[in-house]
Amino acid sequence: MLQYIRSVVFIVQMYVAMPVFGLVFAPWALSSRRGAFAACKSYSRYVFWTARWMVGLRCEVRGTVPQGEALIAAKHQSFLDIMMIFTALPAAKFIMKKEILMTPIIGQYARKLGCVPVDRGKRGAAIERMVADVNAGRAEPGQLIIYSQGTRVAPGAKLPYKIGTAVLYEQLDQPCVPVATNVGVLWPKRGLLRKPGVAVVEFLPAIPPGLDREAFMTQLETAVELSSDSLMAEAGFDYDEQRPGD
């Protein structure tokens, strides 16, 4: 019960702090991409700091973080992995639902960061438009993050990897860095309880450009799923307990 109360207090203060950071940084952030990065990374670090002492949740980044242009294909389990991946990378930008760009403050920041809106009903067209922008030099350089399963996936759940990642991999001709995580074990996609422990995002060895679509997708999914399973077991997740009827 005490951990639950701590979790609720942590969540409330975290969301109260979000518009405060957004407004304080707004003059710099809305006139400069550098300011937008500073604002978002400052807020994320604040969340990491409060999570550590309020609910006992520590954040850890493992592996070699890419510094140049790359496609980042990540496992997505909760809001926490978004902040951890973004803060670790020098110039991250996300492929995101276009509805997010309509939200106050957050939408303006996303535009400044160079995030790419995707219409879920027209994803192929959106990816083609984004690739065209990158190839024409109109998009800001950096690390483009895509969640290959398209949404948050709870620990133990299985969801297919979508072909959009392979399309980007083929057309961008950049290395693809898979990213595994266990954050959903400690910070679930639903519910208020935040568990103590070590939340990890791990940057795995890059997949060089040039593989055919099927080989790329197989290598990506195998790397991310096996590494995520290992990290989740490290955090105390037990697959046997999640099986129906057990």
Q: What percent of the chain has pLDDT over 70?
A: 89
Q: Which of 126, 146, 122 is nearest to 217 (CA)?
A: 146
In the chain, domain spans: 58-242
Q: What are the structure tokens assigned to 161, written together?
A: 């990897």
Task: Determine which of 64-73, 94-103, 176-185, 232-241 has the lowest per-residue pLDDT on average.
Answer: 94-103
Q: Name the 3-class secondary structure at 105.
A: coil
Query: Positive or negative, the Cα torsion across 44, 42, 49, 14?
Result: negative
What pLDDT is attached to residue 133? Answer: 59
Q: List strands edge to edge, sheet with 143-147.
A: 57-63, 197-203, 176-181, 70-74, 143-147, 92-97, 116-118
141 Cβ partners below 8 Å, 6+ apart? 69, 91
Task: Determine which of 30-44, 104-118, 127-141, 218-232 has the lowest per-residue pLDDT on average.
Answer: 127-141
What pLDDT is attached to residue 244? Answer: 42
What pLDDT is attached to residue 113? Answer: 86
Q: Which of 160, 153, 204, 205 is nearest to 183 (CA)?
A: 153
Q: What are phi and psi of 164, to 5 degrees?
A: -55, -35
Q: 222 pLDDT exceeds 60?
A: yes
Distance separating alpha carbons of residues 47 and 40, to the nearest angstrom: 11
What pLDDT is attached to residue 47? Answer: 98
Q: What percent of the chain has pLDDT over 90?
A: 67
Task: Determine which of 18-32, 62-76, 137-151 has the lowest per-residue pLDDT on average.
Answer: 137-151
What pLDDT is attached to residue 245? Answer: 39
Q: 246 pLDDT exceeds 60?
A: no
Alpha helices in the chain (DSSP H): 2-29, 33-55, 79-88, 106-113, 123-135, 164-172, 183-186, 213-234, 239-242
For the chain, the average pLDDT equals 89
Q: What is the mean pLDDT of residues 185-212?
A: 96
What pLDDT is attached to residue 137? Answer: 47
Q: CATH class for domain 58-242?
A: alpha beta
The CA distances from residue 7 to 62, 84, 192, in Å, are 25, 19, 6
89 Cβ partners below 8 Å, 6+ apart? 65, 66, 72, 142, 143, 145
Q: 119 pLDDT exceeds 80?
A: no
Q: 128 pLDDT exceeds 90?
A: no
Distance separating alpha carbons of residues 155 and 173, to the nearest angstrom: 31
Q: What is the mean pLDDT of residues 60-85?
A: 96
14 vs 111, more confident: 14
238 vs 28, more confident: 28
120-158 burial code (b ≥16 CB/10 A, e <16): eeebeebbeebbeebeeeebeebbbbbbbbbebbebbee
Kindly report the pTM of this predicted structure.
0.91
173 vs 40, more confident: 40
Q: What is the mean pLDDT of residues 79-104?
A: 89
